[in-house]
Structure 1
């Protein structure tokens, strides 16, 4: 071994030649190989394919699953525990999320990667998860909270979003609609969770440290998914790179949450927000600072970016499909009322939102880990083997959604009688599936409908490139640059 090492150090020309040949072979392989399936190289496994497709991971994953028949085994480098069963097969999804739910907990590795979430509901398993879900369900399903959601959303749209969009329209400015919607949903989520409005959606688009900290945290969490665990752990130990940004973000997030908990306890001005709901419980644990911190951070992560991103993709799809936008306007016109709108009657709008969420799911992938070995519908999975569900790819499979799967077609969600058509969650994973189905589904759809019926229209700037960003949330990489137009009609 020593002589082999000496050969490389003594003859740098030889080592550089070998390295150059290696990368040439990779380039040749990339440009000549017809199959989309990655090659399993000795020692390094299929990791080079990830690097070569780093700028288009979602589309590449879709291509691999399409060629492999919806399920594929990814082999990582030796000894680095990066092997995955990658799938978008509804049968596998139903089995893991429903049929044998107990065999696929979040697991220790998930908790380690998402350590910033603490012991909150997203990372919790078993009794802890059941207890937290019961609490969250009780709080979110109350009639007071449901009314609070609608009122907050309507007030924010009427008093902040619409005046801002009108001013932008009159000025003829170009604005990043994704930034606008993320600021909107950040303010709304803070109000629903803490009972405070940080004013991110204000003229001049002020920087809100808490919002910036959440962005930095999500970048670091995604980075942890695509590199060997020892690498990000080393970076964390050295306090460098994305791990340093995560550490700084963690401090900002904790400070913001702590300040709001203290205010709520000292001033005792209770409302209908989630923090108040938890603090009014008789259980002493409900007023424990760590429990309240972990709970509110989890709720913020769930509600902020997912809804903002979903709105961004929805409005972009409408600019590409004027027929759909026209039908939504027709439906709104039929329900015109001088005082209020009953959004539950907007069947076509609801269908259009579902179709947008199908094509552009805010969370583009889910991960699980098997406790025991067993047979999945697509084949065997070993104990402690990880399984990755590519939510983004599900909508793009003809065998799942038909030959028109790539079309933005709200009609697929409407029955012949004009009612909403039910589609099983294992085909439509945007709100998760099974016992862990998203408790905030109704909240998200309510907020999206209220924004969707607002009196403004957008036009995407010519030449603007729209593509997904590498993130745990399906952000647009370049934002969505638009010009805003006022409308007398709704939408």
Structure 2
């Protein structure tokens, strides 16, 4: 009995010490907690109970705490984060003190599928990829190639498919259509080949679904303790089994494309036919490395291709899906977009516009900016502090502090956008003289800010406006009755159940 009493006393003493250490830690680093903390599980129950509307719930909580707060996860799991949607904090981390806020090793572990590509790299590895992609994406020949590729895909695949659906009177999932369109498009621009996913029979495409699964699994890694998903990875169960299968499918596809491309280039050199290859990005990467006597290894090319796919596929799909949902539920905005196109280019004279033509559509550009403000394709970004710092909001940051920047919330803050921030208002982006209003990137954060701002911003707007203009010049999009748009739980802001719509021919 005495032995048991001593054992109980020892256990109680250890528990008391742990609690004291925990309280000391919280007083030192958690000066502005955003939730009530429970013993052992921390603040995680709040997240799990509201996971079904995580983005809006996070926005609401951050607003209640002045835009910045601290989240404490289950004890001893390392799931402690600083959360912010304060534009001054964002500007400080992404621009003013850029060197102090990195992706970090834990980020690369979570985003394992991205390899050592531009999105996960830091320091010199990031600079090398950044300079390389800058030279590729900003080259005039690639811009021309991209424009022709998009126009061809819209004219020969997208519009015929929508016409087929409209004639049959079928409900169509526009998000699925855009997923297929952007997948074909990115395969053409990055790999130089068209898998033809966008066809009237809607073929099953394993590689396209593998990308979606990998992104959902990465989101899952953010909301569970590291040891949980690592245990699942080891046992190959749950989300981690799906992640492994998705990555295997992706790698087989990408490496086969790399091997095929090497054969094509080698054959072209042997034959010396002088044939001009399409300037797809993989070909350019291979030629550039070989031209400098530093041929890129397959693993480098694999990571580059994967990162380009995510950048050029998912973000465009997200933006187009939310754009058409917003336009379909705001008929006055739709009418003004169509009116602008008719004034500039006449009625039904030309369906698929060129890049120089869509640049003239200021109101359409404003509607796109509003879409990206309210529904940024990447809803949150993760950083890690290298050294101690103090944010403009007054919050102290310790070395290795993990920080989540809530980009979704930033587009819904009254202090940034005004009391009408929840309204779709393209006029917000149009000056009195009819030009486009410039908003600092640390406020309009859809394309990131600072040295890591999006290299493909201008190209993205061209793609978005060519597709949107082509559809709206021909069709009226109507969301099916009773449909509720729900953001998916993924690192890319898609719709959970797709976007179900009816297409009708536009009447003039």
Same fold (TM over 0.5): yes
* Mapped contact 2:164–2:200 kept (Cα < 8 A): no
Aligned-pair CA distance for 1:3: 6.3
Q: Which residue number corresponds to residue 322 of structure 2? A: 313
Q: Which residue number corresponds to residue 31 of structure 1? A: none
Q: Does 1:370 align with 2:367?
A: no
Q: Which residue number corresponds to residue 37 of structure 2? A: 40
Q: Which residue number corresponds to residue 347 of structure 1? A: 362
* Mapped contact 1:86–1:389 kept (Cα < 8 A): yes
Q: Which residue number corresponds to residue 177 of structure 1? A: 174
TM-score (norm 2): 0.88
Return the match for 1:408 from 424, 427, 433: 424
Q: Does 1:76 align with 2:73?
A: yes
* Mapped contact 2:385–2:402 kept (Cα < 8 A): yes
Q: Which residue number corresponds to residue 126 of structure 1? A: 123
Return the match for 2:438 from 386, 411, 422: 422
Q: Using the alignment, how far apart are the partners of 2:398 and 2:476 within structure 1? A: 51
Q: Using the alignment, how far apart are the partners of 1:248 and 1:357 within structure 2? A: 32
- Root-mean-square deviation (CA, aligned residues, Å) is 1.7
Q: Please, which runs of 5 or more residues in structure 2 have no aligned partner? A: 9-32, 269-276
Aligned-pair CA distance for 1:457: 2.1
Q: Secondary structure at the match of 1:458?
A: strand
* Mapped contact 2:34–2:70 kept (Cα < 8 A): no
Return the match for 1:271 from 266, 278, 281: 278
Aligned-pair CA distance for 1:286: 4.4
Q: Which residue number corresponds to residue 206 of structure 1? A: 203
Q: Secondary structure at the match of 1:453?
A: helix
* Mapped contact 1:361–1:391 kept (Cα < 8 A): yes
Q: Using the alignment, how far apart are the partners of 1:104 and 1:137 within structure 2? A: 22
Return the match for 2:448 from 432, 439, 444: 432
Residues 2-151 of structure 1: matches in 2 within 5 Å? 37-151=34-148
Aligned-pair CA distance for 1:42: 2.3
Once the two structures are overlaid, the 10-residue window that deviates more, 111-120 or 260-269, is: 260-269
Distance 1:457 1:80, change over 3 A: same
Aligned-pair CA distance for 1:283: 3.3
* Mapped contact 1:286–1:292 kept (Cα < 8 A): no
Q: Using the alignment, how far apart are the partners of 2:210 and 2:497 within structure 1? A: 20
Q: Secondary structure at the match of 1:429?
A: coil
Return the match for 1:382 from 398, 405, 408: 398
* Mapped contact 2:215–2:490 kept (Cα < 8 A): yes
Q: Does 1:255 align with 2:262?
A: no
Q: Using the alignment, how far apart are the partners of 1:206 and 1:286 within structure 2? A: 36
* Mapped contact 1:461–1:481 kept (Cα < 8 A): yes
Residues 438-477 of structure 1: matches in 2 within 5 Å? 438-454=454-470, 455-477=474-496
Distance 1:394 1:3, change over 3 A: farther
Aligned-pair CA distance for 1:444: 1.5
Q: Please, which runs of 5 or more residues in structure 1 have no aligned partner? A: 8-35
Q: Does 1:334 align with 2:343?
A: yes
Q: Which residue number corresponds to residue 499 of structure 2? A: 480
Aligned-pair CA distance for 1:443: 2.0
Aligned-pair CA distance for 1:203: 1.5
Q: Which residue number corresponds to residue 19 of structure 1? A: none
- Residue by residue, what CA displacement relative to the aligned partner does 1:252-286 show, whole Å, maximum 9, x if unpaired? 11111111111111122631111011111123444
* Mapped contact 1:162–1:456 kept (Cα < 8 A): no
Q: Using the alignment, how far apart are the partners of 1:214 and 1:76 within structure 2? A: 29
Q: Secondary structure at the match of 1:418?
A: coil
Once the two structures are overlaid, the 10-residue window that deviates more, 37-46 or 160-169, is: 37-46
Q: Which residue number corresponds to residue 295 of structure 1? A: 304
Q: Which residue number corresponds to residue 22 of structure 2? A: none
Aligned-pair CA distance for 1:456: 2.0
Q: Using the alignment, how far apart are the partners of 1:408 and 1:286 within structure 2? A: 48
Q: Secondary structure at the match of 2:383?
A: strand
Q: Secondary structure at the match of 1:202?
A: coil
* Mapped contact 1:76–1:82 kept (Cα < 8 A): yes
Q: Using the alignment, how far apart are the partners of 1:257 and 1:163 within structure 2? A: 29
Q: Secondary structure at the match of 2:432?
A: coil
Q: Which residue number corresponds to residue 361 of structure 1? A: 376
Q: Using the alignment, how far apart are the partners of 2:492 and 2:115 within structure 1? A: 19
Structure 1 stretches of 4+ with a deviation exceeding 4 A read 337-341
* Mapped contact 1:198–1:208 kept (Cα < 8 A): no
Q: Secondary structure at the match of 2:345?
A: coil
Aligned residues: 459
Aligned-pair CA distance for 1:160: 0.4
Return the match for 2:331 from 308, 311, 322: 322
Q: Using the alignment, how far apart are the partners of 1:462 and 1:352 within structure 2? A: 23
Aligned-pair CA distance for 1:435: 0.5
Q: Using the alignment, how far apart are the partners of 1:488 and 1:188 within structure 2? A: 30
Aligned-pair CA distance for 1:200: 1.1
TM-score (norm 1): 0.91
Distance 1:375 1:163, change over 3 A: same
Q: Using the alignment, how far apart are the partners of 2:39 and 2:415 within structure 1? A: 33
